[in-house]
Structure 1
Amino acid sequence: MSVLRPAADTTPADWILDTTLAGDAPTVLRYGPPGFDAYLRLTVNGNVPTAMGPGAKAHPMEAALQVLAAHTVTPDVAYAGVWHGYGFDNSPAPSVPVVPFPNAWMYLYTGPVSTMRYAQQSVWSFPDGTPDAGIDAEPDLVWPADYAWCLACEVDEEIEFSIGCSNTAAAALEEALPGRVHRVTYGQDAPWERDRTPAPDGDSTT
């Protein structure tokens, strides 16, 4: 697994930052910028794997990124925004460019699309630089250098994340992840948290 490196500056995030400052920031941080042909929501269940292709297993976000890597001309140059407030115990706050999204400042990292699923592990690594494989938090924003798509996993999301992309990429995601991904209109209301209503036997639903 390649380790991400700090971005040179925050310029690659300007297209999202400018949109948050000009409009509905919470919607942008949850769905990505407006203007893509298609928007999808994909279920995330922590470490629970999901099938992709003929018998393969992958985390939902990793599976989505494998598909999306084929729908950009810059798969080796992408960016990840990681919310500054996580602060896992293994590492102090990193010294990297910070994008001042409203109420959600994010550290900006760069690397291949294939490394983005593990952004949190790399950012909050052990003091010797070893990524912490025990961290399962998702990157909050991921996009390639050509802006062909944007994946958004808002800080407070628990059950789904959003992908804005082309219709071709959307169709590929639907084929690779049948039953797990569904199309939505930009900014539509969707549940944020798992249902924790106590079941009749006293157990909470998960």
Structure 2
Amino acid sequence: MSVLRPAADTTPAGWILAAARTGDAPTVLRYGPPGFDTYLRLPVDGNVVFDMGPGAGVHPMEARLQVLAAHTTTPDIAYVGVWHGHGFANGPDPVAPVVPLPNAWMYLFTGPVTATRYAQQTVWSFPDGTPDAGIAAEPDLVWPDDHSWCLACEVDEEIEFSIGCSAAVAAALEAVLPGRARRVAYGEDAPRERARR
């Protein structure tokens, strides 16, 4: 089983931190850094299982990460930012480099793209190291070492998250999950929360 480990330092997050400090930080946290050819907005699916292939139940986030892993030259070297304030701490705070993103600093971990799916559950594990399977939160920021794409699931998002990528990656995601992605302009306004009754 692939596991995440603390990054050596915050250097790999420098490109995102620079974008947040010199631009609109809330937009960077919501869309990732500017400059990708295409930006997609996709639904936050919670614990919904998606049938992909003959009878195979695959979580939509896992399906997306499988596609993204196939569209990077560094699928075994990815980074994931995990927001410090989720409040899931079952034990002490993780020992990992802290990326001081404005109003949302994050712990930085590294591992294969596919291991980032359960970053929250792994980082906020129980004292004995058992991942907390009761946490449904998605990873906050994920990107491969070659910067070929960036997934951003802003901490207050309830409806959608973003992926910045090439047109080819966007087409591959749309093919795997038809009707579940929409192309948007970078920073396009969209509701964050579901309507309350």
Taking structure 2 as the reference length, the TM-score comes to: 0.96
CA displacement at 1:53 relative to structure 2: 4.0
Corresponding residue for 1:192? 192
Task: Answer yes or no: is the 8 Å Cα contact 1:51–1:177 preserved in 2.
Answer: no
Which residue is 1:204 aligned to? none
Cα displacement (A) at 1:172: 0.2
**Inter-partner Cα distance in structure 1 for 2:89 and 2:5:** 20
Q: Equivalent residue for 1:103?
A: 103
Q: Distance in 1 between matches of 2:54 and 2:67?
A: 14
What is the match of residue 200 of structure 1? none
SS in 2 for 1:147: coil
Q: What is the TM-score normalised by the length of structure 1?
A: 0.92
Question: Residue 81 of structure 1 corresponds to which residue in structure 2?
Answer: 81
**Partners of 2:59 and 2:178 in 1: CA distance:** 14
Task: After TM superposition, give the deviation of residue 196 of structure 1 in Å.
Answer: 2.2
Shift of 1:88: 1.1
Q: RMSD of the TM alignment (CA)? A: 1.1
* 3-state SS, counterpart of residue 107 of structure 1: strand
Residues 78 and 112, structure 2, Cα contact 8 Å, conserved in 1: yes
Task: Quote the residue 1:62 is aligned against.
Answer: 62
| Runs ≥4 residues deviating over 6 A | none
Contact 2:82 2:107 survives alignment (8 Å)? yes
Q: Secondary structure at the match of 2:118?
A: helix
Q: Trace 1:28-177 onto structure 2 (pairs within 5 A).
A: 28-177=28-177
Counterparts of 1:155 and 1:163 in 2: how far apart (Å)? 15
Q: How many positions carry a matched residue from both structures? A: 197
Task: State the AA in 2 paired with 1:174.
Answer: E
Aligned mates of 1:31, 1:17 — CA distance in 2 = 13
Q: What letter matches 1:72 in structure 2?
A: T
Q: 1:98 to 1:90 in 2, by over 3 A?
A: same
> Displacement of 1:87 after TM fit?
2.6
SS at match of 1:71: coil
User: How far does residue 137 in structure 1 lie from its aligned partner after superposition?
Assistant: 0.8
CA distance in 2, matches of 1:159, 1:48: 13
Specify whether residues 181 and 55 from structure 1 end up closer, same or farther in structure 2 by C-alpha distance, changes over 3 A only.
farther
Deviations 1:112-132 (A, max 9, x none): 001111000110111111211
Write the distance in 2 (CA, Å) between the matches of 1:22 and 1:181. 29
Identity %: 77
Q: CA deviation at 1:187?
A: 0.5
8 Å CA contact 2:31, 2:186 repeated in 1: yes
Cα displacement (A) at 1:54: 4.5
Q: Are 1:43 and 1:60, in contact at CA under 8 Å, matched by a contact in 2?
A: no
